Structure 1
Amino acid sequence: MFHTLILVAHVVVAVALIALVLLQQGKGADAGAAFGSGASSTMFGSQGSASFLSRTTAILATVFFMTSLTLAYFSTQISVPKSVVERVQLEKPIESPKASGPSDVPQLPQK
């Protein structure tokens, strides 16, 4: 159950991380803000959303790596048969054929 909880958290953090990265502006967008393109009227203030989004992205990236390491640890702890032969459980052991005596061996024709 704990494995499933970590897996769900991992997927949610991955989607949130993707969304935050897509929300951030590139470095070239700062040049337009210097000439008064309305950066002071943003929701996050005159500095913009860079520090808030960058900090949140760093936190989510750390959580993502922690959940990745936790899931990797859990996957090594689960014991799974490594081959098909180990998975098959025979109900009865196979009996070896009885050894044939000298009278059972067919004779080759003599020349």
Structure 2
Amino acid sequence: MAKNESKEKRVNDILNAAVEIFVEKGYENTTMNEIASRAGISKGGLYHHFLTKDMVFLHANQKLIEPIYEIMRQVETFNSMKEGLEFYIGSYLRYWMERKNELIFFSL
């Protein structure tokens, strides 16, 4: 990974790698070494951003749930509760159908 890449991109790369490995191996069987390797950074680089595997897991959870919060915010723009609820349910289901690995992540 290039040194001049933004911190945000590095963190996203770490979180994406972590989600992939957590889904493949489960939380308990995932190591910080594996996350760093999959993200293409050194173990020290990983620890620079996240001190523990728990922190990686919590930040990954937060990153993946943010789009759901955005869907909830959009519901507030509807004048009709029925239309808002239909929008929410449809958007929520589409979101998770397009992200099956992330859905598995939430079951860990």
Same fold (TM over 0.5): no
Structure with max Cα Rg? 1
TM-score normalized by the length of structure 2: 0.27
Answer 1 or 2: which has greater helix percent: 2
